[in-house]
């Protein structure tokens, strides 16, 4: 016979319930931040020790909790957000279950201080493992302060699954930044181990917060679309060289992970690489928020309508922001053209370099050489000219919107100046970084780091120093400012037109995206090379003879001169013999 069915002890049941709601420090931070927002707070302060593994403190200036209700606030299913079953059908607040504080209290040593609006004094309550130890009236600042120490001290199995302090800190930072986007009027401040890492929000709009997070010079596109009672706001940062899709979704101000929204973005048929912010607004009764213990998922009553709304908005955004890939006309036929550069050479579309190929030693596949010709030196376009020491080609000018035309004894050469310059910049950056010994360039005017990336600088300072950056941080010897400034950056050819902050942001994205530390520097230079392509000569720009000839000579020296880093051709050759045959000569 099986064991008899018995009721679990309250201490066991509470820890099981807590395990569903609180998984790690970021879970506790999220729940407490949501409570602060629901209380009407305009200033939320997050203080961590070791990323929240040792201590997590959330302070706000919200409406507070009356002293006589402090014990009730720690009970499971006690809440001020809903009253009846009907209220559960139209939840408009972030919290509503009454599980957050009780779950956190069950697996930590918790102290709650609060003073309600209009009260003359505040109150304090301390508990350990869910058991109340102290309750007393005490002076307190208006609002609420929750301190969570030794999370999972009584659940060793759960505690050992927590990651490093740096990893846990990154997750908390992300949650704070996400809620700053959807609640821009709230000021969020975060510090860890006594260091101020984030001060964001207190802004007029989401656009202002995004400007701080993504940078004022980021290529951000946005759109708004509404249909009946539902609406969606989209922001898209088409990060140069990005090979991943980051989607941060909100439904009625709630941070969620939703398959409908992500599927709608993927269904556009466009290149959606980059960072997306999706904010869906819908009547509360049209969405079920009570399907996930941590409130991380929702279910739409009319998911098809939401899918179509997001898809249409994203399609418009991609069209306006250049997110749709456009292959050259007839690209399918290019692969069948002979690769002899002296017989109407048109290079095939080279696929974009994959991450695992970055820094690989094998060269790009060279074009077939003409019969009877010696192998060109490093793929030179006109090897014979290099051997003779005096180029015989002549620059004729530009045609058809800016293509460069060169006359050679063997035929005509058409050059896409933009694609050629992209290839040159790409290889210059690759060469600069190849020996991993990048010199520093001292900044004449030191650059103050935006507050949104200060946390990244603190977390990855050693790696950034190894890459060639240099900083002055609060607490450094001889530095008495409370701001973080960049004093030097890597001196890399081809990046002269990128701003220091832009280089730094790109480096941080590369470090955070690549999990393997041994590959991070390659990820970073790859991103820099892709970003440098934006500063290449634009097709249609008027070039003088010397500029055009210099561009051609630099292209000759590239390892893969026949295509740009994106795979587009840089040159097309029209052999003289073919021209003569066409004219019956």
pLDDT for the residue numbered 73: 87
Radius of gyration of the chain (CA): 30
Q: Tell me the per-residue pLDDT of 355-369, one tens digit each, with 9 for 90 and over.
A: 333 333 333 333 333
Q: Residue 240: its pLDDT value, please? A: 58
Dihedral pair phi/psi, residue 505, rounded to 5°: -60, -45
Q: Can you spell out the DSSP letters for 550-576?
A: HHHHHHHTSSSTTB-TTS-BSEEEEEH
177-217: per-residue pLDDT in tens?
999 999 999 999 999 998 888 888 899 999 988 888 877 76
How far is residue 228's CA from residue 217's CA, in Å, rounded to a whole number?
Answer: 35
Neighbours of 93 (CB within 10 A): 20
- What's residue 62's pLDDT? 93
Residue 331 has pLDDT above 80, yes or no: no
Least confident stretch, 5-19, 94-108, 493-507: 5-19
Between 134 and 475, the more confident residue is: 134
Residue 43 — φ and ψ, nearest 5°?
-140, 115
Rounded to the nearest integer, the mean pLDDT of the chain is 78
User: In terms of pLDDT, which residue wins out, 440 or 295?
Assistant: 440
pTM here is 0.68
Model confidence at 380: pLDDT above 50: no
Q: Is residue 64 pLDDT above 50, yes or no?
A: yes
Please tell me the distance from the alpha carbon of residue 286 to that of residue 274, in angstroms, as a whole number: 30
> What is residue 354's predicted lDDT score, i.e. its pLDDT?
36
Q: What's the mean pLDDT in 282-305?
A: 82
> What confidence score (pLDDT) does residue 307 get?
93
Question: Are 124 and 111 spatial neighbours (Cβ–Cβ below 8 Å)?
Answer: yes
Question: All domains of the chain, ordered by start, with CATH?
Answer: 10-205 (3.30.565.10), 218-321 (3.30.230.10), 334-416+541-582 (3.30.1540.20), 436-535 (3.30.1370.100)
Beta bridge partners of 571: 415
Task: Tell me the pLDDT band of 134, cut-offs 50, 70 and 90.
Answer: very high
pLDDT at 505 over 50: yes
pLDDT at 242: 61
Q: What's the CA gap between 459 and 523, in Å, rounded?
A: 18
Q: CB-based contacts of 431: which residues, under 8 Å, 6+ apart?
A: 493
Structure token pair of residue 545? 């003879």
Q: Among 258, 235, 256, 250, which residue's Cα sits nearest to residue 323?
A: 235
Say how far apart CA 356 and CA 353 lie, in whole Å. Answer: 8
Q: Are 305 and 275 in contact (CB under 8 A)?
A: no
Decide if 327 contacts 350 (C-beta within 8 A).
no
Write the pLDDT tens digit of every residue in 410-420.
788 899 988 88
Sign of CA pseudo-dihedral 444, 502, 427, 326: negative
Select from 402, 422, 411, 458 the least CA-distant residue to 241. 422
Q: What is the pLDDT of residue 373?
A: 36
pLDDT tens column, 309-318: 999 999 888 8
Least confident of 52-61, 129-138, 238-247, 479-488: 238-247
Beta sheet of 403-408, edge-to-edge order? 394-399, 403-408, 411-415, 571-575
- CB contact at 8 A, 264 and 258: no
Q: Is residue 446 very low, low, confident or very high in pLDDT (cuts 50, 70, 90)? A: confident
Does residue 374 surpass a pLDDT of 60? no
Tokens of 403: 């293509």
Which percentage of the chain shows pLDDT scores above 90? 22
pLDDT computed for residue 559 by the predictor: 84
Residue 170: exposure state from Cβ atoms within 10 A (0-12, 13-18, ≥19): middle
Q: Which has the closest alpha carbon to 416: 566, 530, 270, 529?
A: 566
pLDDT at 58: 96
Looking at residue 1, its pLDDT comes to 47
For residues 463 and 75, give the distance between their C-alpha atoms in angstroms, rounded to a whole number.
46
- Give the model's confidence band at 340: pLDDT under 50 very low, under 70 low, under 90 confident, else very high: very low
The per-residue pLDDT for 20 is 64
Q: How far is Cα 18 from Cα 107, in angstroms, rounded to an integer? A: 7
Asked whether the predicted pLDDT for residue 571 surpasses 60, the reply is yes
pLDDT grade for 78, boundaries at 50, 70 and 90: confident
**What are the DSSP calls for 8-51, one per residue?**
PPHHHHHHHHHHHH-SSHHHHHHHHHHHHHHTT-SEEEEEEEGG
């Amino acid at each position: 016979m099986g064991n008899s069915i018995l009721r679990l002890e309250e201490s066991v049941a509470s820890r099981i319930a807590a395990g569903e709601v609180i998984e790690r420090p970021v879970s506790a931070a999220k729940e407490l931040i949501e409570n602060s927002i629901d209380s009407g707070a305009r200033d939320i302060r997050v203080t961590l020790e070791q990323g929240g593994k040792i201590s997590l403190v959330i302070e706000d200036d919200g409406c507070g909790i009356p002293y006589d209700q402090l014990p009730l606030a720690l009970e499971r299913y006690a809440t001020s957000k809903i009253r009846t079953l009907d209220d559960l059908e139209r939840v408009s607040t972030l919290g509503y279950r009454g599980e957050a504080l009780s779950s956190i209290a069950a697996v930590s040593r918790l102290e709650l201080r609060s003073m309600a609006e209009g009260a003359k004094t505040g109150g304090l309550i301390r508990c350990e493992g869910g058991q109340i130890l102290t309750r007393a009236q005490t002076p307190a600042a208006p609002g609420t302060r929750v301190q969570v120490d030794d999370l999972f001290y009584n659940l060793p199995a759960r505690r050992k699954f927590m990651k490093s302090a740096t990893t846990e800190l990154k997750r908390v930072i992300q949650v704070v930044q996400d809620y700053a986007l959807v609640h821009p009027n709230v000021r969020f401040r975060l510090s860890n181990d006594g260091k101020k890492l984030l001060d964001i929000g207190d802004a007029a709009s989401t656009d202002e917060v995004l400007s701080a997070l993504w940078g004022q010079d980021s290529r951000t596109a946005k759109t708004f679309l509404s249909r009946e009672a539902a609406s969606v706001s989209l922001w898209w940062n088409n990060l140069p060289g990005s090979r991943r899709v980051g989607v941060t979704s909100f439904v009625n101000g709630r941070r969620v992970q939703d398959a409908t929204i992500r599927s709608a973005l993927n269904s556009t048929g466009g290149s959606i690489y980059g960072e997306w912010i999706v904010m869906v607004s819908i009547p509360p009764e049209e969405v079920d928020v009570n399907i996930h213990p941590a409130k991380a998922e929702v279910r739409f009553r009319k998911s098809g309508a939401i899918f179509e709304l997001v898809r249409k908005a994203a399609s418009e955004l991609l069209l306006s922001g250049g997110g749709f890939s456009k292959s050259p006309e007839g690209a399918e036929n290019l692969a069948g053209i002979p690769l002899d550069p002296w017989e109407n050479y048109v290079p095939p579309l080279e696929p974009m370099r994959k991450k695992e190929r970055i820094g690989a030693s094998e060269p790009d596949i060279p074009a077939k050489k003409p019969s009877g010709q010696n192998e060109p030196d490093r793929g030179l376009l006109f090897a014979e000219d290099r051997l003779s020491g005096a180029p015989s080609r002549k620059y004729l000018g530009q045609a058809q919107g800016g293509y460069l035309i060169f006359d050679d004894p063997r035929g005509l050469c058409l050059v896409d100046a933009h694609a050629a310059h992209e290839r040159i910049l790409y290889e210059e950056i690759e060469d600069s970084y190849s020996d991993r010994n990048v010199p520093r360039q001292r900044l004449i005017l030191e650059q103050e780091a935006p507050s949104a990336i200060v946390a990244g600088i603190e977390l990855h300072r050693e790696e950034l120093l190894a890459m060639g950056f240099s900083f002055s941080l609060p607490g450094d010897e001889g530095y008495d400012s409370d701001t973080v400034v960049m004093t030097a950056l890597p001196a890399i050819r081809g990046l002269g037109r990128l701003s220091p902050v832009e280089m730094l942001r790109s480096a941080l994205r590369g470090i955070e995206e690549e999990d393997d530390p041994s590959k991070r520097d390659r990820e970073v230079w790859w991103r820099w090379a892709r970003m440098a392509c934006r500063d290449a000569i634009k097709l249609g720009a008027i070039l003088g003879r010397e500029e055009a000839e210099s561009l051609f000579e630099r292209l000759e020296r590239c390892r893969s001169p026949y295509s740009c880093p994106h795979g587009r051709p840089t040159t097309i050759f029209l052999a003289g013999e073919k021209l003569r045959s066409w004219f019956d000569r």
